Amino acid sequence: MGIQSNIRDALLPQPPSFKKKKEYTILETLGRGGFGKVVKAHWKGEGEEKDVALKYVLILGRLDVS
């Protein structure tokens, strides 16, 4: 993140969940299937952090997350 992303975030309206997405660091892909994929991620919130699994769900026949 930097100045450009801060300006973009201030100018473009984002849903309340948008800030939470920045708290995750994707570490590796754990699996893929017909409905999407599962990745291992590190979550760092306010005063807490832990490793988690995130599921990306396939939408409209495309999985945009590499």
Is there a domain that residue 23 lies in? yes
Confidence of residue 3 (pLDDT cuts 50, 70, 90): low
| Main-chain dihedrals φ then ψ at residue 28, nearest 5 degrees | -165, 160
Q: 20 or 56: which carries more pLDDT confidence?
A: 56
Q: Express each pLDDT in 13-39 by its tens digit.
A: 667 766 777 788 999 999 999 888 999
Half-sphere exposure of 44 (CA within 13 A, CB side): 4
Query: Pick from 22, 1, 4: which is nearest to 12 by CA?
Result: 4
CATH of the domain at 41: 3.30.200.20
Q: 58 or 55: which carries more pLDDT confidence?
A: 55
pTM over the 0.85 mark: no
- Across the chain, mean pLDDT equals 79
Indicate whether 1 pLDDT > 80. Answer: no
Range of the domain at 21: 16-66
> Percent helix, strand and coil across the chain, each rounded to 5?
20, 50, 30
